[in-house]
Amino acid sequence: MPNLSASALAILDVVRAIPRGQVASYGKVAARADLPGRARLVAWVLKQADADAALPWFRVVRADRRIAFAPDSADYARQCRCLQAEGVVIIDGRIAAVHCAWTKQDLDRAVWG
């Protein structure tokens, strides 16, 4: 992704900081990147960066703890496999709430040290 905007870089930094075995919503990622209300921008940036194997894009889910892809799609299956490989429990298509316990203090520590 050449020539990334400051907003895109901030989003990618936050996504990289999501701890293994945890998820965050598009809106929470946007808010932590100082872009409140820009959840769709997060989705757009992740779509552009999907080829970056080092980016844990699969840790970003909808606010209702569901995967944003259609349940019968290959992308949905791929995201489920990635999350389950990290121990994330998915029940009836929804991420178990225990994996969404990313506190502000945890996130600040992960992003800013």
- Whats the size of the chain, residue-wise? 113
pLDDT tens, residue order, the chain (113 aa): 456 799 999 999 999 999 999 999 999 999 999 999 999 999 999 998 866 668 999 999 999 999 999 999 999 999 999 999 999 999 988 999 888 866 555 656 666 66
Delineate the domains of the chain, giving CATH numbers in brackets: 6-112 (1.10.10.10)
pLDDT of residue 59: 96
- How many other C-beta atoms can be found within 10 angstroms of the C-beta atom of residue 112? 8
* E runs forming strands in 1-113: 24-25, 60-61, 90-91, 94-95
Looking up tokens 């990147």, which residue turns up?
33
Q: CB of 18 within 8 A of CB of 56?
A: yes
**SS3 for 95-106, per residue?**
ECHHHHCCCHHH
pLDDT of residue 15: 95
The residue type of 74 is: A
